[in-house]
A and B are shown apart, each in its own frame.
Chain A
């Protein structure tokens, strides 16, 4: 789907790395590449986890119920993760996504409260969706514009954005989740509806993932995103407007946070102002687990899909086999550090060349 040769990276130990044009080992290129695809390793981990839980809890883990539940739970993180993949590939980061999601949800929710509440009509639902998407995109683009100046690092820009967006949402609501933030129409359709047995939430997330996976892997926009993370000076000299591109990338992240807000309202019917403070960490973890480099230049949406599902499978699996699910946090934390360690080593080996 989103996999593309662009995403294929050589291992640190690619046999031909630093030497002269001449002697190379006769390892077929496809094998070298397959072993180097970072998604492959995370995918192996994911498959191993699924296999383990399936064996450990026969007939309990691998049921359609669990799979659907895992997918629905993961769908919002997946949508956020797609945006975060782009951001991290530019060697940036966005800590504000949880707050932006809340701000977008509150903006849409307040409109809904004053235009029919739970029984609001389809017209109101459409306006709410547009509001959420617009608020998210606007906020993201604004942060992107500050990042684009190059004067404040993305970490700080979005840390400021995290506080400010949440603060505005709390000011607007007095800190209380407004009652009647989501229309029943929205909840019954996107929230709980299914198409051929597949929840709309999952379909929406899959479409977004496939779409932006293709954008990253096959378009000029994607190529410029990777290039900016790889060497911004070269990109600037090549005449590509780096600042404008960064605004678009952070705007895209905001748009997807707005979409996440719509999905949240649809599934849970409330804005959950206090419930999104760790979204950023969860999503960044998933993206990095999926092989996207925190140093920029490399990454893929496919990897992020796998990275989102690893914690999701772990949580469900641990519950099913009766282990305290808090072990999931421990396991993910360890795997995350290892993943970044490997990425770091890889980069070192590379730069030596």
Chain B
């Protein structure tokens, strides 16, 4: 990874309070185009809150978020989506009674040309065709894109949610525990998909509690503890023990942005 490269997405000193609970207390985050960044941390470390801040769901109380080096403050998830930032929610956020194509295009439906289009008449053939193409690109085979997603298997549903994000994201995709509910085979497929998406130059930020999974798919790992980033590793150069140590704080000294933090990712601008 080129060290001089401007991060695609960066957060500095983000603070977020819920009443008297401080979920984030000066958290930093860095992610580059084309990489898979795993965001790990113990329960309550602030991972979901950080992702919500970065994806426009929450506004930070303090701190700065930069996209492509430009300070930005999303007014909501839609605003983030307009900037090419998509989220795959943990609950997938699909409409179970609608088919895969309709879910893929939910809120961004394609309409017919001309007068019918102005009446809001949907262009289902095109949406279905594009949906098949989108799933094909992810290596997902859906027998029937016209079947309601509720009839699909867990993995297929997951693919629909991922395909939805992939189809519209051109910068960043956040995935909150995308494999938590999946079996071995489907988990492997989703991880494959994650890799493929990153190879297209999109940054994928993955929250996960599964350390072997993190090491196998991520390029880098950022560790949150008590609302702060406490370490940043290159996945290839680290071990599960090290990750767990950083998460729990037992290896505080060495892991704390110390010798394991790779040069390319922990730049001077991180400040500590």
A interface residues, Cβ below 8 angstroms from B: 5-6, 8-10, 14, 16-21, 24, 29, 218-221, 223, 226-227, 229-231, 233-235, 237-240, 297-298, 350, 353
Contact = CB atoms under 8 A, between A and B. Distances in A.
Interface stretch (B7-15, B21-29, B148-156, B234-242): B148-156
B106 A235 contact: yes
6 contacts: A10-B148, A20-B185, A21-B155, A220-B109, A226-B95, A353-B150
B153 A223 contact: no
Interface residues of B, number: 39
Given A21-B156, A223-B109, A353 B151 contact: yes
A9 B107 contact: no
B120 A230 contact: no
Contact of A240 (B81, B106, B148): B106
B141 interface: yes
Nearest to A11: B151
A55 to B, nearest CB: 39
Interface string B82-118: 0000010101011111110010001111010000000
Nearest to B94: A234
Contacts of A5: 99, 124, 146
Nearest to A232: B95
Given A5-B146, A353-B150, A230 B155 contact: no
Contacts of B186: 20-21
A24 B185 CA distance: 17
A18 B146 CA distance: 17
Given A220-B109, A223-B109, A235-B106, A230 B153 contact: no
Contacts of B78: 239
Given A227-B106, A353-B151, 4 more contacts: A10-B148, A218-B124, A220-B111, A238-B108
A126 B152 CA distance: 52
Contacts of B96: 230-231, 297, 350
Given A10-B148, A219-B120, A231 B111 contact: no
Given A227-B102, A234-B106, A240-B107, A221 B97 contact: no
Contacts of A19: 153
Contact of B97 (A220, A226, A238): A226
A230 B107 contact: no
Contacts of B155: 20-21
B244 interface: no
B270 interface: no
A237 B94 CA distance: 10
A238 B108 CA distance: 8
A233 B107 CA distance: 12
